[in-house]
Structure 1
Amino acid sequence: MHVPLSILSCQRVLAAPDPLFPERLHARRFEQQLRLLTRWFRLIPLSRAVAQLADGTLPARAACLTFDHGYAEHAAVALPLLQRAGVPATFFIAASYLDGGCTWCDIVTEVVRNAPGERLNLARSGFASYDIGCPQRRRAVIEMLLAALRLLPPQERLARARSMARRVTPTMLSSDQLLALHRAGMEVGAHPLHHTALASLSNAAARADIAAGRSRIEDILQAPVRLFAYPSGKPGEDFEQRHGRMLRAQGFEAAVGMAPGAAHSGSDLFALPRCAPCAQAGAAFLLRLAGNLFTRP
């Protein structure tokens, strides 16, 4: 019998609703989701689920909750809600973001969100002048800039984003917050050090980025890190089977991507699928999770 495993992926959990992006997950809605998850699923740590997948002892309705990147709100907002609900989770950390970091996407978003007036001149960053006279136009400019920058190499992309901002407001975990997650009993896994898609790197660079990211996290936690999440996570595009072999050789136990569907006993433990559920609660949330159970990665 192939018992399915649902692995759910979250990024931001905002303290309050975002007027510019009302569809983004926030604390009240996340609390509602946790109530639904604990009612309909058996939530277990990812490391235990991986072991039970391997030996065929996975319980019915098993699910795991994971978080990516390492946002400060994971400790400040998500952790208290997880503890209150008694839900375990795994947090995948891009170690280069720790202690004052910010993703290029968040830099761009905040520049446009906080720009005064009705026009934003980004000529010095290689773009144009844009009408931002209403929230809809601000959001459209953000989405246009993100789409354009996403096509650039990672270092150039970050440099262009930083050139838009007079100063960058940190959004990521501090080392102390990461340690707090670990001491609260949450699992901590690794991204590559710079959160770069492994397929864009040479084999040597990929191995080095994997090892460096894990090493920094282990130095902070003084504990082994055995779980990994591929940035972006599209199989065959962002990572390949060779990267799973690299991870296995470095002693990791499993890795998750972002292919839809549920994992089963025969799944490749170094290319486990994950579902990004909608930020809604109620029927829409449950329907998304139910549909994922019947999707084969």
Structure 2
Amino acid sequence: MKARLRHIFHKYVAPKALVLMYHRVAEPESDVWEVAVSPDHFEQQLRVLKEEYKVVPVRELVERHNKGNIKRNSIGITFDDGYIDNFLVAKPLLEKYGLPATFFIASGNVGQPGEFWWDELEHLMLFSDSLPATVDMEVGGERIIFDLKEEAQLSNSLQQQHKAWKACEETPPTKRSQLFYKLWENLKPLPPAMQQAQMQQIRDWSGVAVAARADCRSMSRDQLQDLGRSELFDLGVHTVSHAALAFHPPLVQEKEILENKNFLQEIARNHVDLLTYPYGNYNHESMAVAGKAALKAAFTTEEKVIARSAHPYRLGRFQVKNLAAPEFRKQLQIWKYSI
């Protein structure tokens, strides 16, 4: 009976923490993965967190978890990837409210003029005015044959459908979005050099002149250095190429993680010893590499609270969507009592 009561206490009553996952603070033309929060909504969310919760550095939250000493109502804030709006928009707002955050950076894109491949692919496939009607190419070892028919030309109706589409929750509503999703699936597991070669093949097929959008860039090294030396912020590992780790052998995983860690450690104020798995994609080998790299914890994209029993290399996070304060407050309550 006592064992049963202890189980109930630790499951429902014992203190738990939430770790929030952000990517962008921006208003892009489309957001099929729901990773962007508008600056206005982000500030509203920060007010809620400041007034109603205890926002702590993620490294402190991890230390408390490892010691079995989680404080009730604790929340950690994380950002993935390293978009430029993290520096230009999120950083000033976090400083305004005095809230700490950890930025997990895919270092291969730092200071580069181009976009992340998935952003470029989304813009190219869903918003190009004109595309060839037919596709016949090999991507990721699979031959893809597709006929866009009348959707080769972008109509206003098509554009609106693409802006409203949420790829994590809805099936692709158009032929263009079906093609985009198929290409995304096939590109995601590839090694970075092959990924870029296949993207060039897609660019060549499209015939569209590629011009990287300024608001989709990553931070520069100087901006990242400014961020990493702030007492309020920390930097964390997110691999060099934003690799879907479980698709790669252990030596590739180790290279992606260690090179990323070493790059960030050169410019960070604190030890770089936390990891987030790109796409939430990992396996037991990824966890073993994290241990070998002396990382204290690794975060997934699984929506789980940080409880005492949580594995340090399998900690959960909750993706924050573009919610105003009332909806955000309700969502936090739902997350707080999830198991």
User: What is the TM-score of this pair, normalised by structure 2?
Assistant: 0.77
Report the counterpart of residue 153 of structure 2 in structure 1: 131
Q: For the structure 1 residues 209 and 136, does the alpha-carbon distance in structure 2 shift closer, same or farther, using more than 3 Å as the test?
A: same
Report the counterpart of residue 194 of structure 1 in structure 2: 241
2:308 to 252, 265, 270: 265
Q: Deviations over 1:45-76 (max 9, x none)?
A: 00001111122332220000000001011001
User: How far apart in 1 are the matches of 2:72 and 2:271?
Assistant: 29
Output the amino acid matched with 1:218. Q
1:108 to 97, 121, 127: 121
User: How far apart in 1 are the matches of 2:24 and 2:179?
Assistant: 20
Output the amino acid matched with 1:286. R
8 Å CA contact 2:229, 2:267 repeated in 1:
no
Q: For the structure 1 residues 38 and 145, does the alpha-carbon distance in structure 2 shift closer, same or farther, using more than 3 Å as the test?
A: farther
**What is the aligned-residue RMSD (CA, Å)?**
2.4
1:66 aligns with 2:78: yes
Alignment gaps of 5+ in structure 2: 1-9, 138-145, 164-173
Alignment of structure 1 residues 73-92 onto 2, 5 Å? 73-92=85-104
Report the counterpart of residue 221 of structure 2 in structure 1: 175
SS class of match (1:9): strand
User: How far apart in 2 are the matches of 1:281 and 1:43?
Assistant: 19
SS class of match (1:261): coil
8 Å CA contact 2:127, 2:154 repeated in 1:
no
SS class of match (2:18): strand
Q: Deviations over 1:100-136 (max 9, x none)?
A: 14211111233356634xx333758846552311122
1:216 aligns with 2:263: yes
Output the amino acid matched with 2:74. A
Give the superposition deviation at 1:80: 0.4
User: How far apart in 1 are the matches of 2:134 and 2:313?
Assistant: 43
User: How far apart in 2 are the matches of 1:136 and 1:159?
Assistant: 31
Report the counterpart of residue 337 of structure 2 in structure 1: 294
The percent of aligned pairs where both chains have the same amino acid is 24
8 Å CA contact 2:234, 2:270 repeated in 1:
no
SS class of match (1:110): helix
Q: Which has the larger radius of gyration?
A: 2
Report the counterpart of residue 159 of structure 1 in structure 2: 197
1:121 aligns with 2:167: no
Give the superposition deviation at 1:242: 3.1
Give the superposition deviation at 1:19: 5.0
Q: Deviations over 1:26-63 (max 9, x none)?
A: 11110011111112211000000111112233222000
Alignment gaps of 5+ in structure 1: none
1:253 to 296, 306, 317: 296
Q: For the structure 1 residues 150 and 21, does the alpha-carbon distance in structure 2 shift closer, same or farther, using more than 3 Å as the test?
A: closer
